[in-house]
Amino acid sequence: MAAPAWLEQIQFVTFDCFGTLLDWRAALEKVDVRGRDDFEKFEAEARRIAEGDQFVRYVDVLKQSIAKVKPQLRPAIAGLFADDFGRTPPFADTVRAIAGLKDLVRVGIVSNCDAQHALDVMGTLRTSLDVFITAQEVRAYKPTDRAWDAIVRLGVARSAATRDGWMHVSAFERYDLTPARNRGLKTCFVKRPGGDDKATCDLRVDDLDELVALVAEAKRGPLVLEIETTPAAGQDAAVLGPRVRQWLLDSGMPSMRTVPGVRAATLLEREDGTLIEQYTFGGRAEIDNFEANYAPEHRAAVRDAFGRTVERAVRAVAIRGRQ
């Protein structure tokens, strides 16, 4: 499958969590909720509680739903299940896909869960995220208008992405894909157990590995820009080097981190004192934007700080590798 052209413009990708990134059915099996009937009863009960007139924290939604579906289960076991829901096992492709996407775009999760679940989810995924919006924060559950209106408002503010640069990924049409599309977001359906296979969406993938490959293809990334700094002829490297290093750490690199499309910034130092800045860009369009709109300002800042006492060499942009 060829990557659609619009994927190159995507700057922000969010995911539904339970059922899309984490295998919530595996978690339910630990409390003896098994088979289609049990899953549907649990989901219907959780939806009934979440859609009530008064907001109920997700941990309590889970406890009450389990008590209804499995009344014989000890309350302590139900409570442990609800508290640990954020540690639900991820699908096999989830962790590597999130890591791969983070080099290409800003990545977030929007989830019907509590703040503590969100912390546990990031621990489970072994990474931090650019944005994580919970039902507890917006005091409403997907797919309600109140929840989704708040999600979009917060997502735009926190990611600095526009709606047409935002793609939401889910296995579920009613909770995620339809309300996201209605608010101008691009949508991607990923096949998962229990998902809505006939969902209407802008993109369909069999797994998250395919999604990362398509984004990398469309953006022609990720790419690394290397800038090598050495003292000019006649300059004392032992004196100048520490000054340049500190300036880069305090001023130069923080400024570069604000450039659109920069996903990571690293400073390396060779034994001879040569300093090498490495900036990971999500794709070719982001590199082109930097060179056209930000590179002159960056060079001017170096000249203002050090004049002709340093020499700067920008290496050819190298493909870091596609996931």
**Which tens digit of pLDDT belongs to each residue from 294-309?**
999 999 999 999 999 9
Find out whether 106 and 166 touch, Cβ atoms under 8 Å: no
**pLDDT above 70: residue 238:** yes
* pLDDT mean over 243-267: 94
Q: Which residues contact 44 (CB under 8 A, 6 or more apart)?
A: none
**Residues 166 and 282 placed together within one structural domain of the fold:** no
Residue 164, domain CATH: 3.40.50.1000
Compute the distance between CA of residue 186 and CA of residue 138 in angstroms, rounded to an integer: 22
pLDDT at 174: 94
Q: Checking DSSP bridges between strand 275-281 and strand 262-269, what pairing results, if any? A: antiparallel
pLDDT for 323 beyond 50: no
Residues 61 and 101 in one domain: no
pLDDT (mean) for 81-96: 96
Residues 122 and 237 in one domain: no
Do 132 and 191 reside in the same domain of the chain? yes
Single residue among 167, 190, 219 that ends a domain in this structure: 219
pLDDT at 234 over 90: no
pLDDT tens digits along 37-77: 888 899 899 999 998 889 999 999 999 999 999 999 899 99
Q: Is-above-0.85 flag for pTM?
A: yes
- 263 shares a domain with 129: no
Residue 31: φ, ψ to 5°:
-110, 30
- Among the residue ranges 27-41, 116-130, 133-147, 300-314, the one predicted with the least confidence is 27-41
Same domain, 108 and 83: no
- Please give the pLDDT value at position 52: 87
* pLDDT of 219 over the 50 cut: yes
| Confidence band for 5, pLDDT divided at 50, 70 and 90 | very high
What is each CA distance from 93 to 96, 98, 107, 110, 210, in whole angstroms? 6, 9, 16, 19, 10
Give the Cα separation of 245 and 122 in Å (integer): 33
Q: Are residues 95 and 184 in the same domain?
A: yes
pLDDT at position 320 over 80: no
Q: Given pLDDT bands bounded at 50, 70 and 90, which one contains residue 316?
A: low
Domain that holds residue 256: 223-319
Averaged pLDDT for residues 104-125? 97
Domain total for the chain? 3
Instruction: Say what the pLDDT of residue 297 is.
Output: 94
pLDDT of residue 121: 97
Same domain, 7 and 114: yes
Q: Judge whether residue 204 has pLDDT over 70.
A: yes
For residues 138 and 198, membership in a common domain is answered with yes
Q: Do 9 and 105 sit in the same domain of this protein? A: yes
**What average pLDDT does range 93-106 have in this prediction?**
96
Q: In the listed set 48, 69, 87, which residue is the last one of a domain according to the structure? A: 87
| 201 in the same domain as 163 | yes
Q: In CATH, what number is assigned to the domain containing residue 290?
A: 3.30.70.100
Could you give the angle at the alpha carbon of 200 between the alpha carbons of 196 and 188, nearest 5°? 80
Q: Using DSSP, state whether 31 is helix, strand or coil.
A: coil
Residues 179-197: tens digit of each pLDDT: 999 999 999 999 999 899 8
Per-residue pLDDT at 322 exceeds 70: no
| Inter-CA distances, 53 with 102, 233, 313, Å | 38, 74, 62
Shared-domain flag, residues 169 and 127: yes
**Domain final residue, candidates 202, 219, 236:** 219
Whether the predicted pLDDT of 318 surpasses 70: no
pLDDT at position 44: 92
* In the predicted structure, residue 321 carries a pLDDT above the cut 70: no
